[in-house]
Structure 1
Amino acid sequence: MENPIKRKTNLFFSDIVGYSKMIANNESHTLDLLKEHDIILKKEINAKEGTIIKHIGDAIFAEFPSINNAVEASIAIQKELSHRNSIYRGKDQFNIRIGLHQGDIVEKDGDLFGNDVNICSRIESISLPGSIAISNQALEQLNGNWYTHEYGKVKLKNIPAPQTIHRIYIDKADFQKTRHEDLINRLLDLNINIVNPDEKFEDDIETIGFMYPQNLGKAEDDFFCHSFLEQLIGDFSKIEKIRTSDMFEVGRYKNVDLSISELALKLSVSNIIQMSIINTEDNFKINLRLISMDNGDELIQETWSGKHNEQQKISGNIIIKIADIFNVELTEELKKLFNRENNVDNQAYKKYLEGKFLSDNMSNAGDLERSQQLLEEAIDIDDEFAEAYSNLGMTQNLLGDFEDAEEMLETALDLAEDSENDYALMTIYNHLGIYYKGRKKHKKAIRYFEQGIKLLKIYQDDLMEAKFLHNIAGSYSRIGDHDRALDFLYKSQKINKKLERPLGDNYSEIGVRYKELQKYDEAITYFNQAIKIYKSEGKNFNIARVEIIKSGIYITIGDFDKSIKSLDRAKMVAEEFEDELMDGRIMLCYANIHYTQKKYDKSKESITNAIDHFQNINNNNLILESMILLIQLHLETSDFDLANKVFKKCNRISKRVKDPIILSALKTLALDEKLNID
């Protein structure tokens, strides 16, 4: 191992715009383009005496002997790619972003570490397609005259001090094509965080990312790797001075071959936790390493082991140790929470973890039923296990067993309050709020959300508080208090912005609130902002969900062309998931549009497809909703025999449905005199 060398250098990062989507659409062709990309960039980097440190997928990390060399190479690259793209068309074109910075690094084992490496990587991420972004620090060292526009002060993800960033244009003609105000508007449109120069930010935050834990046991034990990682990330969220990547971010790179330093750049963090876990019948063992990306040093290498019901305590012990290394002081309340003994039976806890995993991460038909079985078995073993009752209630809620769900959730609350189990209460209050919100009992939902928010303030869990505020907003909106609903959403947004969390869900929910206020232009604006963020995160499932809501708005205002286009986009995005529920909802939306347009044959075809999807996942609520539309269609086309036949099926299915809204719709339909009801 080489001795680390500290020095100043000129840094270069680049990546291909939309590379992940290109790979998904045509992997073979995209890899051919990547080879051409590498040849072009290598030639120009070498021509200006640059050194490629490494390739990170489609990204290139390099350094140069001077910032002038780095800029000249960058301009040469963008000019050559611009000329190339003028010759090629469509799928044969590609664009890159380039970010440049000058700063101090630590060279160790052929890699470069340090905060300035992180800064350069973040600068590249906010460069516009086909352009070059450069830090003010680097620009001030640049000799000669260059065409530039200033972004302003930009808050880069997980970089405490905002950076002044500039765009360098490849020539005068390129510069003259863009007005400064147009550049700023485009940056804001892309949700680049341009801040007030006087705005203050915390400068003593530690950031941690995670490699998805390596499972050293059987394949079916992966649920425990997921559960422990979720526990650890959830516990870290209670510490104001430490921020971590979330489960979605970590999951994106679960099966991607990246080194520790490469993953840190992808996650925009200064430290990485690497874990391997072996899970046995009664115990588990975790090997954990904490590596600093400031210098490549290993800060922790340690092993923890225990029974499954000690998961919370072991997670707490790990966090206490890491907080001590970072000189982060924990409150007495948090120390007490992290050291709390869990008296739940070990086998019951293991079944609970697996059942919760299946319910939270449904991927196959029957996962919910298997989750219910495991959670019931956990309760049979330990009938005072509050979290098992709560998660069983939420699983039953998803299955449509609402009365049983309510009983389980109320039992969970009684048990947690009797045992003063704050750890469980944080989750149970949220579950109860979500349940009663879904059952349209909004005042009751609000009461539970408010109790949760009060408890969270004791433990300073900002991230969970943002989720509660987000959820409570929906209930206030449903009782007609839209101003208060928006106020809660803006508070949630403020917390997420402070924590540098993505704002897609906030924008989406604000869009829903404006939709309910019938302010459709504002709703569409927020939905489009949400979609842009979801695209940057690769959250295609959320994109499809928002496009479906947009489609509903366009139906309401009679713009069927835009409604169809939104559904077409949702369908295209959803194709990669093979998600029966999403596919069924899309088909049902198509059916409603065609029905409204009196295109009854197309509507019937879409209804049939929707029912097929819902039957595959045994979702009787949506099967019944689809069949009610089918009855209405048959009545419109005077197919009374078919209408009666479908109605009889609906009556049979309704015995397994407890949703009052759908049952009320069926009851209203039964009053139609065209139906021959015995």
Structure 2
Amino acid sequence: MRQLAAILFADMAGYTSLMQENELLARTKRKRLKEVLDSSVSRFNGKVLQYYGDGSLSIFSSANDSVDCAIAIQQQLQEDPKVDLRIGIHTGDVTIEDEAIYGDGVNMASRIESLAVPGAIFISEKVYDEIKNQDAISTVEMGFFELKNVKQPIHVFAIANNGIAVPSRNEIKGKTKQPGNRLAVLPFVNMSSDVDNEYFSDGITEELLNALTKVDGLQVTSRTSSFAFKGKNHDIRDIAMQLNVDKVLEGSVRKAGNKVRITTQLINAVDGYHIWSETYDRDLNDIFEVQDEISGIIANKLRENLNSNPKEESLVHPTTNNYTAYIHYLKGLHFWNKLTPADTYKAIEYFEKAISIEPDYAQAYAKTAMAYGYLGAKGQILPKQAFEIVHQYADKAMRIDPTVAESYSAKAGAYIFYDWKWKEAYEALQMALKLNPATMSTYEMLGFYHIVMGQKEEAVKILEKAAQIDPLSPLIIQSLGNAYIIAERYEEAIREAEKLLEMNPEMRSAMEMKAWGIGMGGDWQSSLKWFEEVHRLTNHPLKGLMGLGFAYAKLGEREKALDCIKRMEQRSKEEPNSVIDADMAAVWFALGEKDKTFEHLFICIEKHMGPVCYYLEYPPYKGIKDDPRYMEIRKKEFSIG
């Protein structure tokens, strides 16, 4: 029998050695442990499936019950004769046959229990998501751990209720696999008298970050997650725990006239030990040499951990020798990273200034191409116009310097969102990742590509990998959540949506993701409430209606669903360049009107409004592939590509 369960592993610490020292006391403690387990597990609606030596395995239908039971067990075992017990809990699919239990969830719970210290209760992130809003349960984040025979690092939390042991990270360090070299480059602090020089300190940080991604064996946390801590006074160890890194580079930049002082320090995250620090006083014209020197020293310090020999290599390859052009480029980068249409236009203005001063500035051409691609995908510029410019600028960048990753990312975006050239898109994405493995937009597009190809689980794997590199990136969290929905893993999609809502409680895209996860899980009534909130937050009577109309249709409220379509039609008349047909197609499909559905889908094809095959992988379109018109759509998209 297969079922979803909360799995509780409990193991008595020091039993073997106690048996050798005092067999009677050891047996007394084991008997007491069994009595407490039997009564507590039964009281909290669980079942003990196995006893083995000094340990046990129990299952519960509720994560809350499993944690409440674990707390009760540990608190009772503090009384004499005290029993030192480790507990680990995870939720997952299990198979139960003849009182035996199997499955990855069992192995995970066992690994988590092995991390714990006597008197502690460790839980997985899945369990934490279930109990985090319970006032009676306190938790402490322990961070990520690499466990034996587990591919991805696991996010672990400790129960911190009264009487429960909560160890420091150092106490459990020896129980995990030796981590690889993972580095976060925190935003360098602007120490200049002019606050407007912040673009310069941010730019220096990003340039160093990009240089360090070229070091073999080093995983560098992407910019988005690192910059989430900008201006915040967090303990280095807390930052490292959230970013799942073991080294942190931080520093400051003071710019005055033509002089710059850069102070840097490399810190071991576990104990806060300063591995290396240095201060550089230079002319601004030497800025690339300073960046190269810093990145080279850090690379060799980190190679020591990998048992690799130091190397003499240049990690910084400046694409301009013109300082004025470089300053315009850094200003453009400052606005580009704000990722709003208005700031993107401002970024293009500065990138173009850099190009006008230095006509062979490959990096500026590449960033301009990415900016136009963003505006085209967002509907801020007509797609035909936007993506022609993308190709023009990306091609120019490649001719000047074929090692700039952003050129290939920009080309891939044009191939995917407008040209529908799938082979070319995949090849461009692979090249972008080879040149810079920390470019998150590339992972997002690669996930998108695999979904269009019908390879849902491959998309999930790629985006889960991206989430390890950039755990605080809203872009990656949202893309991963959408991939989970498409793969019909709704609980995991809801978890990603909740992460986004913790960052921004009014993020409409996160609300939509949660609504789809809840609705596709079978609860359209609860889903409707989230879609209503999405519509309210648009502050516009004609926007944010697709999910609302779909939920109404699923709940049998046909007239309300038709009213949503009527309002979308009105918006289409008022805003002829807006992307509405895909939204209307979805609501018509929910109403069972396939002719209307395909009418709008074919309009999407005519307008090149994104790959329609991507929309049709969404679970709300279940059944549409049985219609022969689906193959007609697929042929159109793939014959164009």
Q: Name the TM-score class by shorter chain.
A: 0.5 to 0.7
The letter for the 2-side match of 1:382 is E
Instruction: Give the equivalent residue in structure 1 for 2:39.
Output: none
Alignment of 1:286-297 (within 5 A): 286-293=262-269, 294=271, 296-297=273-274
Match for residue 477 of structure 1?
451
The aligned residue for residue 220 of structure 1 is 196
CA 256–620 in structure 1, closer or farther in 2 if over 3 Å, else same: farther
- C-alpha separation between the residues in 1 aligned to 2:297 and 2:125? 44
User: What amino acid maps onto 1:435 in structure 2?
Assistant: A
Instruction: Note closer, same or farther for the CA distance 1:362–1:429 as it changes in structure 2 (3 Å cut).
Output: closer
- Whole-Å Cα distance in 1 between the matches of residues 72 and 273 of structure 2? 27
* Counterparts of 1:143 and 1:231, CA distance in 2: 60
Residue 389 of structure 2 aligns with which residue?
408
Q: Please give the per-residue CA displacement for 1:259-290, whole angstroms capped at 9, x wherever unaligned.
A: 55665566555444332223467665422223
Amino acid at match of 1:487: E
CA contact (8 A) 2:362 2:400 kept: no
Any idea what the Cα deviations from partners look like across 1:490-532, whole Å, max 9, x if unmatched? Answer: 25535765x695799778546645766xx7xx15344124235
Residue identity in the other structure for 2:411: L
- Quick one: distance in 2 between partners of 1:240 and 1:143? 53
Q: Does 1:205 align with 2:146?
A: no
**Equivalence for 2:252:** 276
Q: Distance in 1 between matches of 2:360 and 2:73?
A: 59
- Asked whether the equivalents of residues 477 and 496 of structure 2 are also in contact (C-alpha less than 8 Å), the reply is yes
Q: Distance in 1 between matches of 2:446 and 2:539?
A: 25
Q: Contact 2:325 / 2:358 at 8 angstroms: preserved in 1?
A: yes
Cα offset, 1:544, TM superposition: 4.0
1:528 to 2:501 alignment: no
Distance in 2 of aligned mates of 1:131 and 1:557: 29
Map of 1:122-141 to 2, 5 A cutoff? none
Provide the rounded CA distance (Å) in 2 between the counterparts of 1:169 and 1:202.
Answer: 23
Give the counterpart of 2:457 among 486, 493, 510: 486
Question: Paired residue for 1:316, among 287, 292, 317?
Answer: 292
Tell me what 1:352 maps to: 329
Report the Cα offset of residue 482 of structure 1.
0.7
Note the C-alpha offset of 1:430.
0.9
Distance 2:512 2:387 in 1: 29
Task: Report the Cα distance in structure 2 between the residues aligned to 1:207 and 1:236, rounded to whole angstroms.
Answer: 11
Counterpart check, 1:387 vs 2:369: no
Aligned to 2:315: 338
The letter of the residue matching 1:540 is N
Indicate conservation of the 8 Å contact 1:534/1:540, yes or no. Answer: yes
Q: Deviations over 1:217-252 (max 9, x none)?
A: 322222222222222233333335444444333333
Q: Which residue of 1 aligns with 2:411?
A: 432
- Residues 274 and 594 from structure 1, CA distance in 2 versus in 1: closer, same or farther, beyond 3 angstroms? same
CA offset digits 1:40-73 (Å, max 9, x no partner): xxxxxxxxxxxxxxxxxxxxxxxxxxxxxxxxxx
Structure 1: runs of 5 or more not aligned: 1-126, 155-160, 634-657, 665-678
CA contact (8 A) 2:186 2:249 kept: yes
CA contact (8 A) 1:515 1:553 kept: yes
Q: Are 1:186 and 2:127 matched, yes or no?
A: yes
Cα contact 2:568–2:580 (8 A) shared by 1: no
Q: Which amino acid aligns with 1:287?
A: T
1:545 paired residue among 492, 497, 509 = 509
Matches of 1:285 and 1:525 in 2, distance apart? 49
Query: What letter corresponds to residue 531 of structure 2 in structure 1?
Result: L
User: Which piece of structure 1 moves more, 349-358 or 401-410?
Assistant: 401-410
Amino acid at match of 1:482: G
Structure-2-length-normalised TM-score? 0.55
* Matching residue of 1:165: 115
When the two structures are superposed, what TM-score results if normalisation uses the length of structure 1?
0.53
Instruction: Give the equivalent residue in structure 2 for 1:443.
Output: 421
In 1, the alpha carbon distance for the partners of 2:210 and 2:415 equals: 24
Give me the whole-angstrom Cα distance separating, in 2, the residues matched to 1:430 and 1:565. Answer: 38
| Equivalent position to 1:251, from 227, 238, 241 | 227
SS state at 1:482 partner:
coil
Distance 1:345 1:366 in 2: 27
Q: Give deviations 1:21-58, integer Å, cap 9, x for gaps.
A: xxxxxxxxxxxxxxxxxxxxxxxxxxxxxxxxxxxxxx
| Closer/same/farther in 2, CA of residues 255 and 582 from structure 1, 3 Å limit | farther
- Partners of 1:488 and 1:188 lie apart in 2 by 23
Identify if the C-alpha distance between structure 1 residues 214 and 532 changes in structure 2 by more than 3 Å, giving closer, same or farther: same
- Alignment correspondent of 2:215: 239
Report the number of matched residues.
458
Residues 573-621 of structure 1, C-alpha deviations (whole Å, 9 max, x = no match)? xx7xxxx79999646754776798534998599879999xxx9xxx984
**Any idea what SS the aligned residue of 2:421 has?**
helix
SS of corresponding position for 2:317? coil
Q: CA deviation at 1:387?
A: 2.5
Aligned sequence identity (%): 13
One-letter amino acid of the counterpart of residue 190, structure 2: N
Cα distance in structure 2, aligned partners of 1:284 and 1:609: 57
User: 1:348 & 1:151 partners in 2: Cα distance?
Assistant: 56
Tell me, in whole angstroms, the C-alpha distance in 2 between the residues paired with 1:133 and 1:583: 52
Residues 151 and 167 of structure 1 are in contact (CA less than 8 Å); yes or no, is this contact kept in structure 2? no
* Counterparts of 2:230 and 2:281, CA distance in 1: 22
